[in-house]
Amino acid sequence: MKINDTYAVNIEKLSNQGYGIAKIDGIVAFIENSCPGDVLNIKVTKINKNYVFGEILEIIKPSAARIEPFCPMQKVCGACQIQFIDYEQQLNFKKEIVEDAMHNIAGMSLSIKKTIPSPQIKNYRHKIQYPVSQTKNSKRIIAGYYKPASHEIVNIKYCPIQPEICDKIIEFIRENAKNCKISGYREKNHSGILRHVVIRYSEKNHNCLVTLVVNSKNAAENIKDFCRVLFDKFDEISGVCINLNFNKTNVIMGNDTICVCGKDYIEEELCQKTFHIGSDTFFQVNPKSAENIFNYIQEFIKSNYDSPIVLDAYAGISAIGICISDCAGKVVSIEENKKSVEMAIETAKLNNISNIEVHDGDAGEYFKNEKRKFDVVILDPPRKGCTLESLNYAKKLCKGHIIYVSCNPATLARDLKILKEMNCEVESVQPFDMFCHTYHIENVAIIKVL
């Protein structure tokens, strides 16, 4: 087999990265923009030791699940990898991805529940993070998502998975930033001013918090002036901030954020609770799907416990803990991001919640020093999952159930295998579609501590 060799293949399933999987003489081939059931002519584009990558030359016979994507930029924009697949089939394929992870990584033949759909499949993304640059010759500012596996920006004028007002704000920034002598960032030589535009949107109030991430150690007056122009232009903007990020890094936001106009937060409502969300505090990008998850957790707790003591680890702004506080005797929340901790305390006060105890610190370190036992331990770690030490302490501190919320089936399966080896019983895994039209899957696993 050589680069540019062509083959006719049948796509069997989706990988956990959204590639179609085929077999060529027993070798696994990953094909972008392909769908289980497709019969394709493909060209080999990259060869690794145990697998290859290919691109579609011709669709000989399309899968019954293949549809025309509703966004014309789907193939060139890296945001919606599987938008060309019928939504009901997306849910089925995501369930299969979770089943494969449980079988191949965790070694469990667990029956996975049907993926719970997102209440919205368009305009659902309420956090937008557009990288910004500018063209070499015309100096035209561009903003959008990166092409797959690249740092080349696709200049997005319209994105149907986010609220329409976000497109209007981004377009205004593109067209008018130069009037305030603001240039786009050039990654190659770490020059230019505007690196990212970050927008948080509120479904409750239909307004936005806009943050300009700048390649600077201070907020220059021309940038502040542009913030004021932006604030005055749109009634839907409740606040404009500047975030300072002078580091040569792929991390989007720096540590310092300055509110120039209006409020430095938006309000959102989940589970009949009001949340204040800042530009750099973690909150789920799809609030309606997040509410499904929080209600699911709350119903499980209500059905199995009477006023339990709950530990909410990796808590962010304690969204889960606050949403389940009505059915808990006490919620103990632990989070290492100080701004998120401050927001959690403020949100608890805002909602008159008195049974939540918020701690600032690393979850692993907190586990070491905690002497109490908890009826329920909620784990909601980042994509990399939990450390072995954290899993050990979570089991040690729990006398009932561990509820593990994960956005990565692979690390979830790895950690469930470890918990099973610690004499825990994995009772169920429920997938939720938090990120429609992408390969990402949110899961809630219920684990009984024996």
Q: Give residue 80's pLDDT.
A: 95
Q: Give residue 269's pLDDT.
A: 94
Q: What is the domain-level CATH number for residue 200?
A: 2.40.50.1070
| Domain assignment present for 361 | yes
Tell me, yes or no, whether 428 and 306 share the same domain: yes
**Catalytic residue from among 208, 261, 407, 424:** 407
pLDDT, tens only, 189-247: 999 999 999 999 999 999 999 999 999 999 999 999 999 999 999 999 999 999 999 99
d(CA 380, CA 219): 35
For the segment 17-24, the average pLDDT, to the nearest whole number, is 95
Q: Give residue 370's pLDDT.
A: 85
Q: What is the domain-level CATH number for residue 296?
A: 3.40.50.150
Q: Give residue 239's pLDDT.
A: 98
pLDDT at 343 over 90: no
424 given a catalytic annotation: no
Q: Give residue 7's pLDDT.
A: 97
Average pLDDT across the chain, whole number? 95
Please name the helix (run of DSSP H) or strand (run of DSSP E) that holds residue 89, with its range, or none. Answer: helix 87-104
| Domain assignment present for 85 | no
Burial 394-429 (b: 16+ CB within 10 A, else e): bbebbebbbbbbbbbbbbbbebbbbbeebebebeeb
Q: Single out the residue of 365, 369, 364 nearest to residue 379, CA to CA.
A: 364
pLDDT above 70 covers what percent of the chain?
100
Q: Give residue 316's pLDDT.
A: 86
pLDDT at 364 over 90: no
The domain containing residue 135 runs over which residues? 127-269
The number of beta carbons lying within 10 Å of the beta carbon of residue 104 is 12
Range of weakest confidence among 102-111, 114-123, 308-317, 338-347: 338-347
Query: Going along 301-397, which residue ranges are E strands?
Result: 309-313, 330-335, 356-360, 374-379
d(CA 170, CA 201): 13
Q: Give residue 134's pLDDT.
A: 94
For the segment 163-183, the average pLDDT, to the nearest whole number, is 96
pLDDT, tens only, 79-137: 999 999 999 999 999 999 999 999 999 999 888 999 999 999 999 999 999 999 999 88
Tell me, yes or no, whether 290 and 423 share the same domain: yes
Q: Tokens in use for 377?
A: 């331990």
Tell me, yes or no, whether 332 and 366 share the same domain: yes
Tell me, yes or no, whether 293 and 393 share the same domain: yes
pLDDT at 280 over 90: no
Which 3 state secondary structure label does DSSP give 181?
coil
Tell me, yes or no, whether 156 and 180 share the same domain: yes
Q: Give residue 380's pLDDT.
A: 93
| Domain assignment present for 72 | no
Tell me, yes or no, whether 349 and 408 share the same domain: yes
Sign of the C-alpha dihedral computed for residues 402, 403, 406 and 409 taken in this order:
positive
Beta strands across the sheet bearing 6-10: 6-10, 39-47, 51-61, 27-31, 20-24, 13-14
Q: Give residue 165's pLDDT.
A: 98
d(CA 188, CA 230): 28
Q: Give residue 150's pLDDT.
A: 87
pLDDT at 251 over 90: yes
pLDDT, tens only, 383-422: 999 999 999 999 999 999 999 999 999 999 999 999 999 9
Tell me, yes or no, whether 312 and 372 share the same domain: yes
